[in-house]
Amino acid sequence: MNNFTFYSPTLFSFGRGEADNVGALVRRFGGSRVLLVCGGGSVRKNGAYDGVTASLAKAGLPFTELSGIQPNPRSGKVYEGIDLVRRDKLDFILAVGGGSVIDTAKAVGMGAPYQGDFWDFFTGKAPIERTLPVGTVLTISAAGSEGSDSCVITQEKGSLKWGCPKTDVIRPKFSVLDPSFTCSLPPYQTASGAVDMIAHICERYFTNTPDVALTDRLAEALIRTILDAAPKALQNPGDYAARADLMWAGMLAHNDSCGVGREQDWASHQIEHELSALYDCAHGAGLAVVMPAWMRYVSGHDPMRFAQFAARVFGLETDYAHPEITAARGIACLRDTFRAWGMPVTLEELGAKPEDIPALIAHRREKPGAFPFGKFVSIGPEEMEAILRLACEQ
């Protein structure tokens, strides 16, 4: 296990009805005037908006609203939010929604106190040193932004979907996790969220770092829990117990509890961000296409690690003489699981075209330090192309 520091200071308030405490939580973390950030309307239908605004009113907290955040959130709404914060002298950002809403809130939080363009933080021109406090009320179990040190925004100039450098500075001050808010999720979003969580765990699980037994076991338990809960939530959207497992698993999958002390990969996410930048697909759906293809491409690098994954996650018997056979079976199980959940697993099923592959690679080149990426196996343009070609025919 490698040396590490782990600082995850977010307060989590978990369970039915916990949004009633939002006003008190904002006060506790120093807020007196709130920017309320939300998406395209789901929060008004599932009760989250009414619960949160009633709690703010009870705590005597005025708020200004920034709504209409789209999935794969764009820079335009970040600039708008920064202007609102400055105009109304707001001192707290409250996100009510999913990863897109939360990431917009985080970007506004870092951009408002900064004199330059918030995008400087994404290009590396400026370090992220401070932010306005951000709180979240989560409505979809997926991205893990409610506890993460990351923020992903699409810069509209050039359609560049990038994550800012990871930093504890942007972890939310608090996150309210009420699983009942997620019962209104359509099946496609429920499944996309579950895939994203599994991907967050796999990006950490497939590592070259030796002696990581504890975090391996944590990762496997999380994936098994998601594999158990996701079909229940798909079959019965109101299954509170399944929704609760998914919600806490989504947070644990990405707050780095199971990633500490090991080198992490992140190649599948880098490739997926190009897909969602070009096709505006759901992030989890893009990962359902990319991750099994990436696994097939890199499994020969460490077949025993993939065989361990197959045995411990899917209960397959290990062929010790030919671990690559067990490895391939485990990858097929994962792909078939995604397919059974209604996810696309080929580029075509996602609505992407094989003839766009060169454009996806060219677009990636526009990012500073575009290639190589991925720590488990280093990925250059040729490898990225090979993975996307595999994703045409799974």
Footprint of Zn ion (CB under 5 A): 196
- Contacting range for ligand NZQ; rule: CB under 6 A; set: 24-32, 33-41, 50-58, 301-309: 33-41
User: Which residue, 102 or 391, has its beta carbon nearer to ligand NZQ?
Assistant: 102
Nearest-approach distance from CB 207 to Zn ion, in angstroms: 17
User: Which residue, 183 or 386, has its beta carbon nearer to ligand NZQ?
Assistant: 183
Candidates 233, 223, 252; CA nearest to 333 is 223
User: Which residue, 69 or 201, has its beta carbon nearer to Zn ion?
Assistant: 201
Nearest-approach distance from CB 32 to ligand NZQ, in angstroms: 26
Cα gap 77→145, rounded to integer Å: 18
Residue whose token pair is 């990319």: 290
Does 203 contact ligand NZQ by CB under 6 A?
no
The one of ligand NZQ, Zn ion, none whose footprint includes residue 41, by CB under 5 to 8 A per kind, is ligand NZQ
Strand, coil or helix: 71? coil
Nearest-approach distance from CB 222 to ligand NZQ, in angstroms: 15
Does 139 contact ligand NZQ by CB under 6 A?
yes
Cα gap 276→273, rounded to integer Å: 5
The one of Zn ion, ligand NZQ, none whose footprint includes residue 375, by CB under 5 to 8 A per kind, is none
Task: Give CA separation, 206 vs 172, 180, 255, 330, in Å.
Answer: 27, 33, 17, 14
Does 185 contact ligand NZQ by CB under 6 A?
yes
Binding to ligand NZQ in span 268-297, by CB under 6 A: 269, 283
Q: Give the number of residues written for the chain.
A: 394
Q: Which residues contact 286 (CB under 8 A, 6 or more apart)?
A: 272, 275, 276, 279, 350
User: Which residue, 202 or 391, has its beta carbon nearer to ligand NZQ?
Assistant: 202
Does 145 contact ligand NZQ by CB under 6 A?
yes
Using CB under 6 A, which of 173, 243, 254, 364 touches ligand NZQ?
254
Contact string (CB under 6 A) for ligand NZQ, positions 325-354, x = contact: ------------------------------
Q: Are 108 and 78 in contact (CB under 8 A)?
A: yes
Q: Is 40 exposed, middle or buried (0-12, 13-18, 19+ CB in 10 A)?
A: middle
Nearest-approach distance from CB 108 to ligand NZQ, in angstroms: 14
Does 155 contact ligand NZQ by CB under 6 A?
no
The one of Zn ion, ligand NZQ, none whose footprint includes residue 39, by CB under 5 to 8 A per kind, is ligand NZQ
Does 374 contact ligand NZQ by CB under 6 A?
no
User: Which residue, 145 or 346, has its beta carbon nearer to ligand NZQ?
Assistant: 145
Q: Are 8 and 147 in contact (CB under 8 A)?
A: yes
Q: Is 287 exposed, middle or buried (0-12, 13-18, 19+ CB in 10 A)?
A: buried
Q: What is the CA radius of gyration of the chain?
A: 20
Nearest-approach distance from CB 285 to Zn ion, in angstroms: 11
Contact string (CB under 6 A) for ligand NZQ, positions 74-113, x = contact: -----------------------xxxxx-x----------
Cα gap 82→93, rounded to integer Å: 10
Strand, coil or helix: 44? helix
Preceding peptide of 372 cis, ω within 30°: yes
**How many Cβ atoms are within 10 Å of 385's Cβ, its own excluded?**
15
Cα gap 94→36, rounded to integer Å: 5
- Contacting range for ligand NZQ; rule: CB under 6 A; set: 67-75, 84-92, 325-333, 339-347: 67-75
Q: Are 32 and 61 in contact (CB under 8 A)?
A: yes
Nearest-approach distance from CB 269 to Zn ion, in angstroms: 6
Q: Is 183 exposed, middle or buried (0-12, 13-18, 19+ CB in 10 A)?
A: middle
**Site residues (vs ligand NZQ, CB under 6 A):** 39-43, 46, 71-73, 97-101, 103, 139-140, 142-145, 148, 150-152, 181-182, 184-185, 189, 193, 196, 254, 269, 283
